Structure 1
Amino acid sequence: MTQLARTSRSAARTASLALAALGTAAGLIGGFMAPVAAADDAAQPTYDNYVALGDSYASGAGGSPVIDADCDRTGQSYPSVIAAAVKAKSFKNVTCSGATTAEMAKAQGTNPAQLSALSADTDLVTLTIGGNDIGFTDIITNCVVGSFSDPTGSPCKKHYNESGSDAIDTRINSTASKLTVSLAYIRALAPKARVVVVGYPSLVPDDGKVCRPGVPFADGDVSYLRDVDKKLNQALADRARSAGVEYADTYTMTIGHDMCQGEADRWIEPIETKLAPAHPNSWGQHAMAYGVYDQLLLK
C-alpha cells in the first residue's frame, strides 16, 4: 500500500478522493486509501460536465451495481468515482465493454457513437481505449491454450512472431494511429475540455513470475504479456502527449496487485473468476480512479 502514499501531499489528495467516493462506491477506496486531514478545498479539481469514454476497463465490467448490462457498465467504475470526486454536475458515462477506437465515431449495437456525448460545454473527458483494438481477449485466450502444449516455453510469443516480426507490435502501432484520430475528434467536439487518456493497469506480475495453475500462462509468456501491456501503455502515452492531452498512469500503482496475487492483494481478477477475467475488480477500479485524480491535481 505504500506505493499509493508517496508523499503527505499525495495522501491529502487521496483522502479527498476517498471521502468523495463513499456515497458512490460504498467507500471501497477508503480500504487502501486511508483518510487523512482534508486537503484545502480550493486545491480540489471540480468540473461541471464530465464525459467518460472507453472500453470495459473504464465501464467497470464485472462489478456492481450494473447500470447498463449491454455495456457491462457499473457504478463502481473509475469514471463513477471520479464523477463524485470532482463534483460533476453533469456526468455522461458512455463507456462500453468491447469498444474499440472505431466505436468512438460509430454505433456499437444500439449504443450511439461515444463521441456523440461530447459538446462545447464538456470540460472533462477521460478515455481508456486500445485493448480491444489489439485483440487482447484473443491474445489472453491464445496464451492460455498455448500453455497446455508448452508450459515451460513461450508458445504465445512464438505464435505472434511466426512471420518473423511481432504481430502484436504491429497492432499496437496501428492502434496508436487510430487513437490520434480519436483525440483530434475529441478536441474538435469539446474544445474547452481537459482530456485525459487513462492507461491500463498491471495485469500480470511485473517481475515476470509464473503463477500456474491459478493463471495458466506458459513460463515465458508471463513476461511477454507484461511487455504487451507496457508497450500499449507507452503508445497511448506518447500519442496523448503528441495530441496535447494528458496521460494518467495506472500501471505503476497496480504493480504487485495483478491477477496472480492472493485475494486480499489482488486488484485484477484471474482467468477463472465469477467477475470479468483479466479486468480490475472494485479495488482495481478505485486504484485507477486514484491515478486519474492524481493527474487532475497536477494543474
Structure 2
Amino acid sequence: MKTSRLAALSSSLLLGAVLTLTGAGAAQADTTAAAVDYVALGDSYSSGVGAGNYDSSSGSCKRTSRAYPALWAAANAPSSFAFTACSGARTTDVTANQLAPLTSATDLVSITVGGNDAGFADVMTTCVLQSESACIARVNEARQYVDTTLPGRLDAVYTAIRNKAPSARVVVLGYPRFYKLGGSCIAGLSENERKAINDAADHLNAATAKRAVNHGYAFADVVPAFTGHEICSGSPWLHSVNWLNIGESYHPTASGQSGGYLPTFRAAA
C-alpha cells in the first residue's frame, strides 16, 4: 500500500514537472480562466465602427471582428460569446434590443454607452460646420444633459443588466479624448473647440464612472491608452472627418480597437 502511494505521488510530481516545462499547465489554467459566458453590449465604440471589415449580417449595427469584444473572444475562447453592440445605440436601445443573451449563467459583460444620448454626433457636426461659439454652446448643452438626464438613463441600463445577469462581472468602458492639443493639425477646429470637446469627454467619463461604480461595476478608462494617439498626434488611433464614410468620423481605427480598447478591457476583465 505504501509502495502504491509512493508511486502515485511520484507520478503526480513527474506530471507536474512536465506540465511546467512544456507550459501545458499554464495553457490549462488559461483555458479554465477563459471558460466564461461573455456578452458584449453598447454603441459604435463597442461594435467597432471605424475599424472596417464589417459583418454584413449585422446590418446597420456595423459589428466587426476587429472590435475589442471580438478580439478578446478570439484570444480567450470563452464558452459562449454574444455580440449585440450596435452603431448609434442609446441607453434605451440597449435595454430594448441588446439584453436578450444575458442570463444567470453570464459571467462577463462589456458595454460602452452614453455618448449618443448626450448628442455626440450632433456636437461634432455643429463643431465641424458652424462657428466656434456655436460649437462651444452645443458642447455645453451636452454637458448639461450629462449632469441632469444621463445618470438616470445609465442607472436604468445598469440595473437591467444586473437583473438579467446577477453574477456577471460588468466592465463599463469610457471614451477617449479626441484631440492632442498643440498637435500637428493646421486646419479644422480651433484649439478652443478641441479643448472644449476633450473636456466634455472627460466630463462624460466621470459621470459614467460614478454610475458604474455605484452599481458595483468596473469602469475602464481608455484615455491613458489613447494618449499620444489622438487626432492631431503623429500616430492617431481615431478618424477625423471621413468624408468618404462619414459614419466612421471620430471613431477608433482598427489600431484604436486593438491597441486602445482591447488592452484596457483585458486588464479590467
Same fold (TM over 0.5): yes
2:21 is equivalent to residue 46 of structure 1: no
Letter in 1 for 2:138: Y
Q: 1:98 to 1:219 in 2, by over 3 A?
A: same
Write out aligned runs for 1:1-299 (5 A).
Answer: 41=27, 42=29, 45-67=33-55, 68-106=58-96, 113-147=97-131, 154-157=133-136, 159-160=137-138, 166-173=140-147, 174-205=149-180, 207=181, 209=183, 211-213=185-187, 216-262=188-234, 265-272=235-242, 274=244, 276-286=248-258, 287-296=260-269
Contact 1:155 1:218 in 2 (8 A): no
Q: Distance in 2 between matches of 1:191 and 1:122?
A: 8
**1:23-66 CA-partner distances (Å, limit 9, x unpaired):** xxxxxxxxxxxxxx9x9554784242110000001101133322
- Contact 2:183 2:233 (C-alpha < 8 Å) held by counterparts: no
> Who wins on radius of gyration, i.e. which is larger?
2
Q: How many residues align?
A: 239
Query: Distance between the aligned counterparts of 1:188 and 1:129, measured in 2?
Result: 18
Displacement of 1:210 after TM fit? 7.4
Question: For residues 144 and 100 of structure 2, what CA distance do their matches in structure 1 show?
Answer: 29
Amino acid in the other structure paired with 1:195: V
Q: Which runs of 5+ in 2 are unaligned?
A: 1-22
Q: Cα offset for 1:248?
A: 0.9
SS at match of 2:99: helix
Indicate if the aligned counterparts of 2:178 and 2:238 stay in contact, CA closer than 8 A. yes
Name the CA distance, whole Å, in 2 between partners of 1:220 and 1:210: 15
TM-score, with normalisation over the residues of structure 2? 0.82
Give the whole-Å Cα distance in 2 for the aligned partners of 1:130 and 1:62.
18
Give per-residue Cα distances to partners, 1:263-284, cap 9 Å, x unaligned.
Answer: xx11101113545110000000
Q: By how many angstroms is 1:171 displaced?
A: 1.2
Query: Is the Cα–Cα contact under 8 Å of residues 201 and 288 in structure 1 kept in the other structure?
Result: no
Question: In structure 1, what residue type is equivalent to 2:176?
Answer: P
- Give the % identical residues: 34
Give me the whole-angstrom Cα distance separating, in 2, the residues matched to 1:58 and 1:160.
Answer: 25
Q: TM-score, normalised by structure 1?
A: 0.74
- Deviation string 1:202-250 (CA, Å, 9 cap, x unpaired) is 3111x4657242xx21231110000011111111111110111111111
User: Considering only aligned residues, what root-mean-square deviation do their CA atoms show, in Å?
Assistant: 2.3
Tell me how far apart the structure 2 counterparts of residues 199 and 40 of structure 1 sit (CA, whole Å).
32
AA in 2 matched with 1:65: N
